[in-house]
Amino acid sequence: MSEIKRWHDKSQKLADMMRVLNNMSDKELDEIAKYLYQVVNIYRKQRKSQDDGLSIGRDKLFGYYKAYQKRRWYDRNPSLSSAVNILSILPPREVDSIINGFIDALKKSGLYDIYHQKQKQVKE
């Protein structure tokens, strides 16, 4: 198995989602990132109610520094940056559940077609 180089490669669903989001225009990303942010916040609130703390380590603190400096492509969108910072500290199984919820939210909102089109473009 190859070595994981980026934090978002720890989950295939997450890596795929990040690739799709990275290929969106700013306008598309503004619309869609809000849904990811909402799903992540719902998850975080549920997790807080279970009194399960999220642990952040040295790498995560450096990630927050990078976010503050807006050095990564996803830091330019506040909703996406916030959601991604939470996703980066979760285990892959939980991340996959959140992404499933995100896709469901897009389907219910009518924005899934935009996401799906970009997904097809990325695969080509």
Predicted confidence (pLDDT) per residue in 28-85, tens digit: 999 999 999 999 999 988 877 665 555 555 555 555 555 555 678 888 899 999 899 8
* Cα dist from 45 to 15, 17, 49, 60, 77, whole Å: 24, 22, 6, 20, 22
Domain membership of residue 67 as a residue range: 8-123
Residue with tokens 């996959």: 96
From CA 51, how far away is CA 36, in angstroms rounded?
Answer: 23
CB neighbour class for 36 (10 Å; exposed up to 12, middle 13-18, buried from 19): buried
The total number of structural domains that make up the chain: 1
* Predicted confidence (pLDDT) per residue in 92-120, tens digit: 899 999 999 999 999 999 999 999 999 99
Structural domain contains residue 1: no
- Both tokens of 52, joined, read 């399960």
Confidence (pLDDT) at 75: 86
Structural domain contains residue 2: no
From CA 23, how far away is CA 3, in angstroms rounded?
Answer: 24
